Structure 1
Amino acid sequence: MTVRSLHLPVAAQPHVDSLVDLAQVGERHGYDTAWLPETWGRDGVTVLTSIARETESIGLGPSVLNVYSRSPALLGQTATTLQEVADGRLRMGVAPSGPAVIEGWHGLEFERPLRRTREYIEIMREVMSGETVHYDGDLFSLSGFRLRCDPPTEPVPIDAAGMGPKSVELAGRFADGWHAILFTPDGFQNRLEDFRRGVDLGDRNRDDLRVSLSVTACALEDGERARELARQHLAFYVGAMGTYYRESLARQGYEDEAMAIATAWANGNHDDAIAAIPDALLDDLGATGTPEHARKQLQTFESLEGVDELSIGFPRGASSDDIKATIEALAPDS
């Protein structure tokens, strides 16, 4: 059975309490997990702590914390502490992010992202075991320390996000799940084969792993406004966030559209970039429009083979009222 979760907004909110409020709305409407992105706004750990203190049953986790700005041992400590605060409701999501954020914001070299992700996952597990850590990897060597507190009573699953074939294979081989974002139904099925190959290479049990697909959603009575917000959101990610999203769309059969969006954005023609997104692409990537139309689109993604969790995200330009209306319209109990 596919569960439905929230991918809390990536855009800045008025206050930390605003994000807490959205998680509480999600909890009341039966969503499984509230995932929190971390980019260049508020740090994810502080916000997740606040959410954990003000909720009771909804699962919590970052999607994602990058594997550059904190050491792997610190992420292990962070997961240990958050699991304690959240009373066992934590699930971690990690990934490299991309050069735009790692180099432009954190000032670090974006190098060996796949190897780095693997070593982070392995070190975090060793840290959370409570045993003395002895790790000798290609990038990190740790020795002689162990947690100064009790390890998590409930093991913390560690998921990895990925868009390309090798990163998705890595998630299947080493992580406890895969976070998929910006995928068409066909594109998702293609990458699912990479995930399954990773599962086989790691001699894993697929039933023990979780695949979470995040889709942009906006369900408003003013359906055209909802779709315009989604277009603005997609244009920004394809045009302003480096090459990852553009290349992912190209792999999924939308190379011409992706290039048109990126070129217009790079030339400062943001309106043209938004206009370059056809209705077919918008529907292929999310669930936006009137509540009736959005629910129908959501069912398409929810019925995909291999999806264990469908996580609804929101356009960058959506207001708090827009987000709450969408949470309510697309709730599992609706």
Structure 2
Amino acid sequence: MTKRTLHLPVAAQPSVESLVDLARLGERHGYERAWLPETWGRDAVTVLTSIARETDEIGIGTSIVPVYSRSPALLGQTAATLQEVSDGRFRLGLGPSGPAVVEGWHGADFDRPLRRTRETIEVVRAVLSGETVTYDGDCFTLAGFRLRCGPPDATVPIDVAGMGPKSVELAGRFADGWHATVFTPDGLGDRLEDLARGADLGGRDPEDVRVTFSLTACALEDGERARELARQHLAFYVGAMGTYYRESLARQGYEEEANEIAAAWAGGDREAATNLIPDELLDELGAAGTPDRAREELAKFESIDGVDRVAIGFPRGAEPSEIEATLEALAPDRR
């Protein structure tokens, strides 16, 4: 059975404690793991440390931290430390993010994202081994240092996020897992073929690469409110977050819709961009509506062969009470 995890809200929340409270609530309702993205709000490491200290069983993970905002060695140190403070409950999710964040927020060049991601994986693994790191890559060269503390007792799995064929192939070839988001069931199936091809190139069994699908969900008694929030969320990602999501939707057969949404957003008409998302597309990309309807849509994604985990995410405009209502309505202990 596909397990349910929790993708903590990408939008700013009232406090670190509010995120800790959501993780605690997720733990009580049986969610396997709490994932936290790192964008341009609170840093993921501090928040996940707080969650680790205030929970007992729920796993924690980054989904994702960009490979441009920290050096690979620091990412290895961070993974080792979070594995220690969580008593072995940590999973590291990495990804290139996109030019909008990397260049506009971090002031870094968005250069060779696939190569940088691969080398980051390799350096992080070398750091976590506890041995002296000697690495000579295209992006990074390291020599002469090792962790000053002991390496983690439990191996830290490394997942990679990706949307395009080559990035998903990379995950299959080098990572322990793939994080997927904003996919239709058919689109996800296409990328799972890329994942299997990557695993084959790496001489690995695709079954050994865990697939986590992050699904935007909103389950409210006011079903129309839930669907409107999910529409707004999707319009923001297609319109405001660079070209990746638009290109991904185009590959999945929604090129016209994606371009129209992006054009309306770029023109400053966010309401029009939101209204350009038809019910069919909304249902293909999320689980939103009344609790019963959201559960039906969620089941559709959980039944996809090759998906191991579904991470319940929330619309960026949802109020704290709406996030909690959705978390509870779609909780594993409510199956």
Aligned to 2:145: 145
Kept in 1: contact 2:214–2:313 (CA 8 A)? yes
- Residue by residue over 1:79-135, the C-alpha shift from the partner in whole angstroms, topping out at 9 and shown as x without a partner, is 000000000000000000000000000011100000000000000000000000011
In structure 1, C-alpha distance between the alignment counterparts of 2:276 and 2:209, rounded to whole Å: 37
2:217 matched residue in structure 1 = 217
Supply the distance in 2 between the matched residues of 1:298 and 1:208 (Cα, whole angstroms). Answer: 24
> Could you say what secondary structure the match of 1:214 adopts?
strand
Give 2:333's aligned residue.
Answer: 333
Paired residue type of 1:98: G
After superposing on structure 2, the runs of 4+ consecutive aligned residues of structure 1 that deviate more than 4 Å are: none
Alignment correspondent of 1:193:
193
- Cα deviation, residue 204, structure 1: 1.1
TM-score between both structures, scaled by the size of structure 1:
0.99
Residue 186 (structure 2) pairs with residue 182 (structure 1): no
Alignment partner, residue 68 of structure 2: 68
Residue identity in the other structure for 2:84: E
1:18 aligns with 2:18: yes
Distance 2:318 2:88 in 1: 31
- Hey, what's the Cα distance between the residues in 2 that align with 1:64 and 1:83? 16
In structure 1, what is the Cα distance between the partners aligned to 2:206 and 2:89?
A: 22
Which amino acid counterpart does residue 23 of structure 1 have in structure 2?
A
> Offset of 1:9 from its aligned partner?
0.2
Distance in 1, matches of 2:215 and 2:252, equals 15
1:333 is paired with a residue whose SS is helix
Alignment partners' CA distance in 1, 2:295 and 2:194: 29
If the length of structure 2 is used for normalisation, what is the TM-score?
0.99
- Corresponding residue for 1:266? 266
Q: Which residue of the partner structure matches residue 287 of structure 1?
A: 287
1:7-49, Cα deviation, whole Å (9 max, x unpaired): 1000000000000000011000000110001000000000000
Deviation per CA, 1:31-85, whole angstroms, max 9, x where unpaired?
0110001000000000000000001100100000100010000000000000000
**CA positional deviation for 1:208:** 2.3
TM superposition shift of 1:206: 2.4
* Contact map agreement 2:195 2:206 (CA 8 A) in 1: no
Q: CA RMSD of the aligned region, Å? A: 0.5
CA distance in 2, matches of 1:2, 1:233: 25
Paired residue secondary structure (2:48): helix
Matched, 1:229 2:216: no
Please give the secondary structure, in 1, of the residue aligned with 2:142: strand
Alpha-carbon distance in structure 2 between the residues aligned to 1:43 and 1:153? 25
> Does the aligned pair in 1 maintain the 2:168–2:194 contact within 8 Å?
yes
Q: Per the alignment, in what secondary structure is the counterpart of residue 144 of structure 2?
A: strand
Aligned position for 2:308: 308
Cross-structure match for 1:107: 107
Per-residue deviation, 1:209: 1.9
The AA in structure 1 aligned to 2:71 is S
Q: Separation in 1 of the partners of 2:172 and 2:136?
A: 22
Q: Which residue number corresponds to residue 85 of structure 2?
A: 85
Cα distance in structure 2, aligned partners of 1:70 and 1:152:
20
2:308 and 2:164 map into 1 onto residues whose CA distance is 20
Which residue identity lines up with residue 145 of structure 2 in the other structure? F
Give CA deviations for 1:141-181 in whole Å, capped at 9, x if unaligned: 11110000000000000000000000000000000000000
Structure 1 position 207, deviation (Å): 2.8
Shift of 1:247: 0.4
Partner Cα separation in structure 2 for residue 24 and residue 204 of structure 1: 36
Q: 2:67 matched to 1:48? A: no
Q: Residue 257 of structure 1 corresponds to which residue in structure 2?
A: 257
Amino acid at match of 1:56: D
Distance in 2 (alpha carbons) for counterparts of 1:251 and 1:234: 16
Amino acid in structure 2 at the alignment position of 1:120:
T
Tell me what 1:154 maps to.
154
Alignment-derived partner of residue 118 in structure 2: 118
Gaps of 5+ in 1: none
The 1-side partners of 2:44 and 2:316 are apart by 17
The aligned length equals: 334
Q: Secondary structure at the match of 2:327?
A: helix
Give the unaligned 5+ runs of structure 2: none
Q: Separation in 2 of the partners of 1:3 and 1:282?
A: 23
Partner Cα distance (1:134, 1:106) in 2? 27
